[in-house]
Structure 1
Amino acid sequence: MDTDKVKIIEPTSGWQLVDFKELWRYKDLLYFLTLRGIKARYAQSIMGVSWAIIQPLFTTIVFTIVFGSLAKVDSDGMPYILFSYLALWPWNYFSGTLTESANSLVQNANMITKVYFPRMVLPLASILSKLLDFLIAFIVVIGLLIYFNVVPGWGLLFLPLLILQLLLTSLGIGMFLSALAVKYRDVKHALSFLVQLLLYAAPVVYSTTAVPEQYQKLYILNPMVGVIEGFRAAFLNRPMPWDWIWPGSIVAVIVFIFGMFYFRRMERIFADVA
């Protein structure tokens, strides 16, 4: 046998970087797993992709009635339904990716134990498959902007940066939770109510200005604070709140790097305990 053509796959050890070249070689697998995730979500569903609009829209209506009309929560002078939806739009993507990616390794245990491929493909495919819901939900944003006669400003140019921050945060936490869930199955049960609690740790139903000033320096370390307030500013033609965005951006990068290293460190035990 020609040993030059034999590749020996050994388990990783310690804290290692992701082999992005190897990940790129498996781009077709990533594509098909992403496509499979989209199809599985809407298989045998009467409403189909309409659920990507129905869920955030009806949640926004409930928030508008409870927090906007009854509780009279300040919405910074904008219609509460628009104020709320522009926050729920990125938040639903974030919360959805946490659930999907956290369960991605456990749900695909048969693949992990039978064939080799970069394990990071699984949480990455879960996160990419949710982008379709994110894009479809944008239709409601267009409708609300037209209804309230709001014209977005130049802040839309920074929208890709906000989406990148959203993706880094989702992928970083998703990789960490997926690796943790393989060893500790409690993660699946804890995540369901943890996501609900995190909703109120982000300015979804209220504005960041409602947070007492002495707590804002700590509060804006939450990457979703800058993302949500940035989305509002971009679509409502308001100044970009960079003081709220850049601290969360730094945290998002740190979370992504930590999640990546932790995933690689735990990768060697996936096939044993999955």
Structure 2
Amino acid sequence: MENTQLQKNHTPVTYLKPSKGWLSIDLKELWRYRELVYFLTWRDIKVRYKQAVLGIAWAVLQPVLTVLIFTVVFGILLKTPSQDLPYPLFTISALLPWQLFANALQRSSISLVGNANLLTKIYFPRLAIPLSAVMAALVDFGVSFFVLIGMMAYYRYMPGWNMLWLPVIILFALLTALAVGLWLSAINVQYRDVQHMVPFIVQVWMYASPIVYPIDIIPEGIWRVLYGLNPMVGVIQSYRWALLGGDQPDATMWISVLVVIILLVSGLFYFRRMEKTFADIV
């Protein structure tokens, strides 16, 4: 918590005081450090592609190769239904928001430990670190989005007015990653084995989301409600609808939205509560 005062010689002096209690989220302070968020995001992007052989081309190869494997295994061999869509298009329309979420989550979960030198030397809102890690994932998503556009042109699928919802849906995916990342990044400061668990969690989470199979195969009723507790169900379901049309997202999307709100608000409070201990433990 900052408190800036003027001395007799009009020199500004900033006093740093630890926050008290749980209700101490200061988003105005984060806004004052918005340039820091920008520079941390840009730094993460440059570090990711520095001395990389494939560079940004990996953002294209990864979804293309994944869709190829999924198409052969699930589309051709297992004959998985795809809501009357070409299976490659059906898959990549869900894979892109998933990869945005997965990349943002993995980066944010280790962001505090990876920036230990900053945490122990200078003051700034610690929330800027996981937030910048989430924002950096947008670069890969933006590049791979052209692959989806190319496949839609190949299969002659033209988006309708639903596409206007894409910015909201992308923000929904980022908030989902940030909500979970706040919890994992704060816990990872105390228990470093969390960073080893995240790749496994992401892998299991992917198959628990409607990427290689449609949500229609989940029985309606209590099972569909429980399935909606996975926040990525709402993200993927709405993303497909925005680009490829079809049935509008059902009630499971609103369940996912509610889950994300709960995770985000509770994650902000928990992160802020543990923030005062980061520099001592990391």
Deviation at 1:17, TM superposition (A): 4.0
Match of 2:59 among 43, 47, 52: 52
Relative contact order higher in (CA < 8 Å, ≥ 6 apart): 1
The equivalent of 2:106 in structure 1 is 99
Give the partner amino acid of 1:2: Q
The equivalent of 2:157 in structure 1 is 150
Deviation at 1:74, TM superposition (A): 0.8
Give the partner amino acid of 1:25: R
The equivalent of 2:87 in structure 1 is 80
* Distance in 1 between residues matched to 2:99 and 2:67, nearest whole Å: 11
Q: Is the 1:155–1:238 Cα contact (8 Å) retained in structure 2? A: no
Change (3 A) 1:109 1:145: same
The equivalent of 1:235 in structure 2 is 243
Match of 2:140 among 129, 133, 141: 133
Deviation at 1:249, TM superposition (A): 1.1
CA shift digits 1:223-244 (9 cap, x unpaired): 2111111111111122321423
Q: Does 1:113 align with 2:89?
A: no
Give the partner amino acid of 2:246: R
TM-score (norm 2): 0.93
Q: Does 1:188 align with 2:195?
A: yes
Q: After superposition, where does 1:1-274 map in structure 2 within 5 Å? A: 2=7, 5-214=12-221, 215-274=223-282
TM-score (norm 1): 0.96
CA shift digits 1:100-158 (9 cap, x unpaired): 00100001101100110100110001001111111111101110100000011221122
Unaligned runs of 5+ in 2: 1-5
Q: Is the 2:22–2:269 Cα contact (8 Å) retained in structure 1? A: yes
* Distance in 2 between residues matched to 1:166 and 1:99, nearest whole Å: 14
Give the partner amino acid of 2:34: K
Q: Is the 1:153–1:238 Cα contact (8 Å) retained in structure 2? A: no
RMSD: 1.5
* Distance in 1 between residues matched to 2:211 and 2:30, nearest whole Å: 35
Deviation at 1:167, TM superposition (A): 1.7
CA shift digits 1:162-218 (9 cap, x unpaired): 122212111111111111100111101111211101011110111111112240011
Give the partner amino acid of 1:221: L
Q: Is the 1:53–1:137 Cα contact (8 Å) retained in structure 2? A: yes
Deviation at 1:7, TM superposition (A): 2.8
Q: Is the 2:104–2:174 Cα contact (8 Å) retained in structure 1? A: no
Give the partner amino acid of 2:198: L
* Distance in 2 between residues matched to 1:191 and 1:94, nearest whole Å: 13
Sequence identity (%): 47
